[in-house]
């Protein structure tokens, strides 16, 4: 019988189930099973074991596998050193490694460069992703920037319109959170989201960016979420981000 003809809750090998749900490739799924990250009905799964997706509770790192077709929305506190992409042909670490336990094939909403950390959204809902990431919706994004240089003086410059890569940009707000003899900490809010925009804005004002972290998108805050950790968005957070463009679930 072909895979497409199987009864939905007929027994299947667990690594195939995880792959079908987009949680991991079959090879990656086997590694996850070997390392004890996968359970079936709260018991550790074993290589070659079968289960029934419609009846058995299959979990990765304690998170139940999302049914095929279920829409998933999560926030990740992205660490430095990870790239924001689903795959990388150069073997670099990607954010997908950090959300493998989400139980669904997710895609990043927008990007954070390798050296930037903080709030990153991931989903399998294309309409939601567009409502959050498309420039026309102007979702404000706030960053914490540790800089070397004249932070108060640069703050005045950052509040004025400027050009980045030949495009006019400006900060919606700039706050000096801490002053130091050789630098400081700024909170910069922007409406746009051009490639490395905050870094380039700071550099154009004579600042050297030491670290950059995204704190919020719209009204959704990173909060106390640990570095490298993720959680599901609440329904209120999801609706606050996509408004009337939300997919009904």
Q: Where are the domains of the chain?
A: 3-64, 73-134+220-245, 140-217
- Each residue's pLDDT, cut to its tens digit, for the chain (249 residues) gives 344 344 446 789 998 888 877 677 788 889 889 999 899 999 999 999 999 877 888 888 787 787 777 889 999 999 999 999 877 888 899 999 999 888 788 889 988 999 999 999 999 887 888 888 876 667 899 999 999 999 999 999 999 999 888 888 888 899 999 999 899 999 999 988 778 899 999 999 999 999 999 999 999 999 999 999 999 999 999 999 987 666 655
CB 40 within 8 A of CB 58: yes
73-134+220-245 and 140-217 share one CATH topology? yes
Separation of alpha carbons 52 and 123, rounded Å: 25
Separation of alpha carbons 41 and 32, rounded Å: 16
Catalytic residues: 113
Q: What is the architecture, at CATH level 2, of domain 140-217?
A: 2-Layer Sandwich (3.30)
**CATH T-level assignment (fold) for domain 73-134+220-245:** Alpha-Beta Plaits (3.30.70)
Domain at 3-64, CATH from 3.10.290.10, 3.40.50.720, 3.20.20.70, 3.40.50.150: 3.10.290.10
């Amino acid at each position: 019988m072909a895979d497409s003809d199987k009864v939905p809750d007929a027994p299947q090998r667990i690594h195939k189930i995880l792959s079908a749900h987009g949680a991991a490739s079959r090879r990656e799924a086997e590694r996850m099973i070997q390392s004890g990250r996968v359970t079936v009905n709260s018991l550790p799964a074993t290589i070659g074991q079968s289960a029934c997706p419609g009846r058995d509770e299959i979990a990765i790192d304690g998170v139940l596998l999302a049914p095929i077709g279920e829409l998933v929305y999560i926030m990740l506190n992205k660490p430095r050193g990870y790239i924001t992409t689903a795959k990388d042909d150069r073997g670099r670490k990607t954010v997908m490694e950090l959300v493998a336990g989400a139980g669904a094939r997710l895609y990043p909403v927008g990007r954070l460069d390798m050296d930037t950390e903080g709030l990153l959204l991931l989903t399998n809902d294309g309409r939601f992703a567009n409502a959050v990431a498309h420039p026309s919706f102007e979702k404000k994004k706030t960053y914490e920037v540790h800089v070397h240089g004249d932070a108060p003086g640069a703050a005045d410059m950052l509040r004025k319109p400027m050009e980045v890569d030949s495009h006019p940009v400006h900060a919606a707000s700039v706050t000096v959170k801490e002053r130091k003899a050789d630098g400081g900490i700024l909170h910069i809010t922007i409406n746009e989201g051009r490639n490395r925009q905050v870094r380039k804005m700071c550099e154009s004002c004579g600042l050297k960016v030491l670290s950059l972290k995204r704190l919020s998108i719209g009204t959704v805050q990173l909060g106390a979420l640990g570095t490298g950790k993720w959680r599901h968005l609440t329904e209120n957070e999801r609706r606050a981000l996509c408004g009337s463009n939300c997919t009904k679930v």
